[in-house]
Amino acid sequence: MNIRIISSNSLPMLNGVAINATLRAAYLARAGHDVTLVVPWLEPQEQHYVAANLVCSSPDAQRRCILDWLDANQLPAPALQIAFFRAYYDRHYQLNFPRELIEQITPQCDLLVLEEPEILMGKRPWASIKQRFLLVIGIIHTNYAEIAQHDRWLHRKLASLYGRLGNSIATRNCHKVITIDRLVEFPAAEVAYVVGIADEFFAQQQRTKTHLFYCAGRMDKFKGWQELAELSANLRMEPIDVYNTPGRHQDTILSSVAAHSAPLRFCGPTLQPARTFGKYKCLINPSRLEVLNTTTRQALCMGQFVILPYEHCNLPYYQFPNCLVYRSPTEFERHVEYVRSHDPALVGNEIHSLSWQSATENLLEIAQNIADDRGIVTLNRL
């Protein structure tokens, strides 16, 4: 199949959208498909807003960064093609938006995947591109309407509108919209696991766990950092290593951590998460607002304990024996003590459902079903 994947984010931005779009492209290319990953090119003066100190001087340098990242994570994909569209960073919304029309930079293909269609087409909500392509699938990564509820006053007032507008944009531009959790209020979306965890994380199961606790995520307040600062400070815990990427509330979070004298040790981002995280025994993920929950799934695949707050977004992970859920500071403390004195349970076969092989199979099956429904015969190669 000729597949084009267009993403609203790209490495070296170390967020879930960028990483998962890159991995999806790599796994499809390694499976023998003709894949082009199309990602935003931000001018260097804008890149520091989203990529910490990892700035690429040109599209060629960014292409090399993506391929090097795949090599470093044991996923070489020499057949993967990488293309760019000119984009800009909107500091008000803190999102990347295209400077070019998606439909004009995208040639015909068997399957077009839009990673965050509501953002890629967000500045042109009246447009519709799905009539121009055989098959368009949109994948929802982020619950922007819910995030707006926790943001500035005006955004809170407009949160419901954001949700309805995002749903409308995605539906107008995609033959099928997919989310992995019904927590995201996209009425027309199908819930399916089309985002997986790379093989290198599964390989960490046999590794000796020499360190105790870590966290990972963007420095946004809805990720639960301030709650973790309070919980860990009250327990006088050993240092918790935090692998953080820049976010809109970084200064506020750092001030809160300092005010509580919380034992959070900020380590910055990592380009090799499996190797970095594999030495730990337990992930603490205090976020109460997730869709993909990538770090949680990575930890479970590495055979680690995961301490999570009781929230709807975490429900899919309660089935795993290494998932420890807290509803109160007392329960959090109990789980911390349990991790100190116990080893994680051995990982069972059910963890395969979190793999990229499974996610890729699910996506291709959905594409084939849509093709069959629409009478498209060119996808029989699936």
> pLDDT tens digits for 1-36?
999 999 999 999 888 899 999 999 999 999 999 999
Instruction: Tell me if 30 sits within 8 A of 77, measured CB to CB.
Output: yes
Let me know whether 175 and 240 are in one domain: no
Q: Give 124-143 pLDDT, tens digit per residue.
A: 988 899 999 999 999 998 87
Domain span holding position 149:
2-196+355-381
Task: Kindly report the average pLDDT of the chain as a whole number.
Answer: 90
| pLDDT (mean) for 225-230 | 92
Length of the chain: 382
Q: Which span out of 143-152, 159-168, 173-182, 326-335 was modeled with the highest average pLDDT?
A: 326-335
**Cis-peptide into 286, omega within 30 deg:** no
Cα 249 from Cα 50, distance rounded (Å): 13
Instruction: Tell me if 274 sits within 8 A of 204, measured CB to CB.
Output: yes
Phi-psi domain of 248 (left: phi exceeds 0; alpha: psi -120 through 50; beta: other)? alpha
Let me know whether 227 and 245 are in one domain: yes
Report the 10 Å Cβ neighbour count for 14. Answer: 24
Let me know whether 336 and 364 are in one domain: no
Phi-psi domain of 217 (left: phi exceeds 0; alpha: psi -120 through 50; beta: other)? left
Instruction: Tell me if 44 sits within 8 A of 150, measured CB to CB.
Output: no
Domains identified in the chain, total number:
2
**Token pair 């008000």: residue:** 92
Let me know whether 208 and 91 are in one domain: no
Let me know whether 205 and 187 are in one domain: no
Max Cα-Cα span within the chain? 63
Let me know whether 173 and 274 are in one domain: no
| pLDDT (mean) for 110-133 | 94
What pLDDT score was predicted for residue 228? 94
Share of the chain above pLDDT 90, in %: 66
Cα 37 from Cα 375, distance rounded (Å): 26
Let me know whether 236 and 323 are in one domain: yes
Let me know whether 43 and 20 are in one domain: yes
Handedness of CA 138, 143, 149, 154 (dihedral sign): negative
Let me know whether 225 and 191 are in one domain: no
What pLDDT score was predicted for residue 236? 78
Q: Which span out of 147-156, 239-248, 354-363 was modeled with the highest average pLDDT?
A: 354-363
Let me know whether 16 and 159 are in one domain: yes
Let me know whether 94 and 47 are in one domain: yes
Instruction: Please determine, for residue 187, whether its predicted confidence score (pLDDT) is greater than 80.
Output: no
Instruction: Please determine, for residue 84, whether its predicted confidence score (pLDDT) is greater than 60.
Output: yes
Cα 46 from Cα 4, distance rounded (Å): 26
Cα 344 from Cα 43, distance rounded (Å): 45
Q: Give 251-309 pLDDT, tens digit per residue.
A: 899 999 999 999 999 999 888 899 999 999 999 999 887 666 889 999 999 999 999 99
Q: Which residues contact 64 (CB under 8 A, 6 or more apart)?
A: none
What pLDDT score was predicted for residue 320? 94
- Domain with residue 332: its CATH number is 3.40.50.2000
What pLDDT score was predicted for residue 92? 81
| pLDDT (mean) for 135-163 | 75
How confident is residue 382, by pLDDT bands cut at 50, 70 and 90? low
Instruction: Please determine, for residue 160, whether its predicted confidence score (pLDDT) is greater than 80.
Output: no
Instruction: Tell me if 215 sits within 8 A of 242, measured CB to CB.
Output: yes
Let me know whether 39 and 166 are in one domain: yes
What pLDDT score was predicted for residue 212? 97
Instruction: Please determine, for residue 154, whether its predicted confidence score (pLDDT) is greater than 60.
Output: no
